[in-house]
Amino acid sequence: MSLTREAVLHIDQETLNIQERFARLVASHPDRPKSYHIVTFGCQMNTHDSETLAGTLQHMGLTRCTQREEADLVLFNTCCIRDNAERKALGNITWLNEIKKKRPEMLIGICGCMMQQKGMAETVLKKYSFVDLAFGTGTLYRLPEYLFQLVDEKQRVIDVSREESTIAEGLPVLRDSDFKAYINIMYGCNNFCSYCIVPYVRGRERSRKADDILKEAQGLVKDGVREITLLGQNVNSFGNDTGEMSFPQLLQRLEETGIARLRFMTSHPKDLSDELIEVYANSQALAPHLHLPIQSGSNSMLLAMNRGYTAESYLDKVGRLRQALPDIGLTTDLIVAFPGETEADFEKTLELVDRVRFDSAFTFIYSKRTGTRAANFADMIESEVASHRINRLIQLQTGITKEVLANMKGEKTGILVEGVSARRKTQMSGKCGRNISVNFTGGDESLIGQIVPVEITGAGSNTLRGELEKEKD
């Protein structure tokens, strides 16, 4: 039995009922804000949290306002993964204060990962005195109570208490799309990669109950959702704390709901199991795409990053995945200029990227995060060297992406149609199983939300072109 099993606590019905009472009080309060606008930074976790925040606000009678300057309540759902994410959020918040000076009734709130950093609550209290509401990642379910305090008691609310081992089920969610949906399967992370702030701001790993996940998925399928993306910082650890079932078993159970397409984010290479590779080989619903962050091609960097695998073991897993599913598209994350990275280390990353031939890659310059182990590492890389390295890496990957995409010409593939192409209004646009955007001719808006057969006819630098396959008479 693991330690965390005991620690995870589902928010009980009584607590949720109290929140429901607060929600009703806000909904009938004469001074309540009438409209809201949420600004979201960061990853899919935050995007999905924002859907829950929106659902909760709608439930209290607020309506969405597309212009942030005009909203009565503006919530910033922040990210602190890198310094620039943090600066962007703070810049946006400070800018909005200028509007608030003209519209003093406007309420400004900050939530998300940035608020969970040590000392952040104090900073907000002192430096951002115009902020009315601040809360962290673990207490979204308390938004009705916070809003009630704000409107009824005219009190500033700052609550960044952790409550990291709790899971709240059944909160209202206002999903951004009718046919694509996110489902959280677990929260937090236990990996402590030496550069990463996530375990500090999102807490320890805790899995949702499989039944809760399956029920949510069944509801979505019933509502016509075609694609579900499962979310977790390391989905491969799903169930380690509850002992209920493994991640590959969960995927199989989800497939039984009849969902057309399944995706997940993110998978840690050290925990990618043979069982998962087998699901890739046999599943009808699992999209032929895997985001598998490698971070570096140098074993000494991987060790310093505390990643728990080597370049060789990563390549071995890639080989086995491709054997099981030759057309699988791989994408990755890469960090350059980690402390102590030599030119030789960096060249190993280039070599690895050249060997794997990812469909695409997110590339980042290492950013020091206070509180993480790497923040104390010596040998910071100079910023000119870092910029030069990232540019070389981007150049290499850009060429590979172009070639990979060009090689897909002639393929027939299913596209989940998302809308009219932004660039060519006569074409429709959607994503193939490998998660690459495809603009295609022969379709119209009636196809939005459906998976349709398309033949790939050409490739640009990041997107594919195609033609809708007409049904034969």
Single-letter amino acid code for the residue at 361: A
Task: Map the footprint of ligand SAH across residues 264-283, applying CB under 6 A.
Answer: 266, 268
CB atoms within 10 A of CB 341: 25
CA–CA dist 86, 90 (Å, integer): 6
**Over the range 306-321, which residues count as b (16 or more CB within 10 Å of their CB) and which as e?**
ebebbbeebeebbeeb
Contact (CB, 8 A) for 126 and 109: no
Considering Cα of 279, then 280, then 282, then 285, what sign does the dihedral take?
Answer: positive
Q: DSSP string of 336-348?
A: ES-TT--HHHHHH
CA–CA dist 66, 281 (Å, integer): 43
Nearer Cβ to ligand F3S, position 53 or 79? Answer: 79
CA–CA dist 434, 291 (Å, integer): 10
Which residue among 198, 328, 361, 374 contacts ligand SF4 (CB under 6 A)? Answer: 198
Size of the site for ligand SAH (CB under 6 A): 17
- Pick the piece of the chain touching ligand F3S (CB under 6 A) from 197-205, 238-246, 302-310, 464-472: 197-205
Give me the least distance between CB of 358 and ligand SF4, in Å please. Answer: 17
Which listed option, ligand F3S, ligand SF4, ligand SAH, none, makes contact with residue 301 (CB within 5 to 8 Å by class)?
A: none
Size of the site for ligand F3S (CB under 6 A): 12
Q: Which residues contact 48 (CB under 8 A, 6 or more apart)?
A: 182, 184, 231
Nearer Cβ to ligand SF4, position 95 or 362? Answer: 362
**Position 79 contacts ligand F3S (CB under 6 A):** yes
Contact (CB, 8 A) for 427 and 421: yes
**Position 113 contacts ligand F3S (CB under 6 A):** yes
Nearer Cβ to ligand F3S, position 201 or 225? Answer: 201
CA–CA dist 93, 115 (Å, integer): 13
Which listed option, ligand SF4, ligand SAH, ligand F3S, none, makes contact with residue 107 (CB within 5 to 8 Å by class)?
A: none
φ/ψ of residue 348, rounded to 5: -65, -35
Which listed option, ligand F3S, ligand SAH, ligand SF4, none, makes contact with residue 79 (CB within 5 to 8 Å by class)?
A: ligand F3S
Give which of 63, 128, 70, 133 is closest to 99, Cα–Cα.
70
Residues in the chain: 473
Contact (CB, 8 A) for 89 and 78: yes
Give me the least distance between CB of 24 and ligand SF4, in Å please. Answer: 37
Tell how strand 329-336 and strand 289-291 pair up. Answer: parallel
Task: Map the footprint of ligand SAH across residues 345-384, applying CB under 6 A.
Answer: 364, 366-367, 369
Which listed option, ligand SAH, ligand F3S, ligand SF4, none, makes contact with residue 390 (CB within 5 to 8 Å by class)?
A: none
**Position 233 contacts ligand SF4 (CB under 6 A):** yes
Q: Whose CB is nearest to ligand F3S?
A: 42
Contact (CB, 8 A) for 267 and 291: yes
Size of the site for ligand SF4 (CB under 6 A): 10
Tell how strand 451-459 and strand 412-420 pair up. Answer: antiparallel
Which listed option, ligand SAH, ligand SF4, ligand F3S, none, makes contact with residue 397 (CB within 5 to 8 Å by class)?
A: none
Task: Map the footprint of ligand SAH across residues 151-210, applying CB under 6 A.
Answer: 195-196, 198
Give me the least distance between CB of 45 and ligand SAH, in Å please. Answer: 9
Residues near ligand SAH, by CB under 6 A: 81-82, 195-196, 198, 233-234, 266, 268, 293, 295, 333, 335, 364, 366-367, 369
Residues near ligand F3S, by CB under 6 A: 42-43, 45-46, 79-81, 113, 197-198, 201-202
Residues near ligand SF4, by CB under 6 A: 189, 191-193, 196, 198-199, 233-234, 268
